[in-house]
Amino acid sequence: MNQLEALKQHTTVVADTGDFLQLARFQPQDATTNPSLILKSAQKPEYAHLLRDTLQQHGHRTMDERVDRLLVRFGCEILSVIPGRVSTEIDARLSFDTEATVQRAQRLMALYRAEGVSPQRVLIKIAATWEGIQAAARLEAEGIHTNLTLLFAFCQAVACGQAGVRLISPFVGRIYDWHKNRAGASWDEAAHQGPNDPGVQSVRRIFEYYKRFGIRTEIMGASFRHVGQIVALAGCDLLTISPELLAQLAASEAPVPRALDAERARQLDLPPVRYDEAAFRLALNDDAMATEKLAEGIRAFCADTVKLEALLQAA
């Protein structure tokens, strides 16, 4: 049994890519996309027909609708390969607008329904700002399930649990990056491996809290830098992994023991936490890493959405 097969014994494996031609090789349950991944795939020759078809059919529509239709086209192609769900991301420029986020999510889901896709197979990805979390609460009440992304802080996870969102995506690798860059020359890589990795520790804390208090929101670790981070989170509900790291797992037969145990977490003595808007904003502000990485992530996704629009304009 290779590491990928072993990991699937403990955790639902999700592919983090818009390159759906690679998916059959790894047989993931679900798949996630974001503007950066779709932009990367859309520029490859093997996907040029998707861009061309979208423009031929919908070139007369507004740019934001053209983008949404391209995202849904990629999503439908992905769903033809995997048995589970695909995550499709809302325009990051709406990250601080609850009403606009709700409306955009409703449109995306309507486009999927028009293609014959069940709402149970789609997760709408939304940045885990306060406004995004409130939008997700409304969408979940309508039966539109959400994946709250760009999640770096414990307060974001708690607020998502309160809102009843379907799934959260804490970003392991970007947390690791921040701490490593902050430490500079004093960073000791060996001392921050496995369970001592700050990104791994962040997900473990969320996992233990959710399981201790019976929070049903699914936890999907994301944004991995190396296989060691993935192995250290075996047992997490889901892990979304790039094709490159999936290939490394498939090529190794090293053991993958369960690292996170829900039953053990249920026995922990942890205090309950609750956030209203003011407490959430203060807690996020007090977490320099989360504040910086959330802002950086939103900026990057906004920039790649603009590039995707330019691609649709020029094609």
Name, in order, each residue with C-beta under 8 angstroms of 155's C-beta and a sequence gap of 6 or more. Answer: 275, 279, 280, 283, 284, 287, 290
Q: List residues with catalytic annotation.
A: 125
Cα angle, residue 226 at apex, residues 126 and 212 outer, rounded to 5° = 55
Name, in order, each residue with C-beta under 8 angstroms of 305's C-beta and a sequence gap of 6 or more. Answer: 35, 67, 91, 92, 93
Among left, alpha and beta (phi > 0; psi -120 to 50; other), residue 307 is alpha
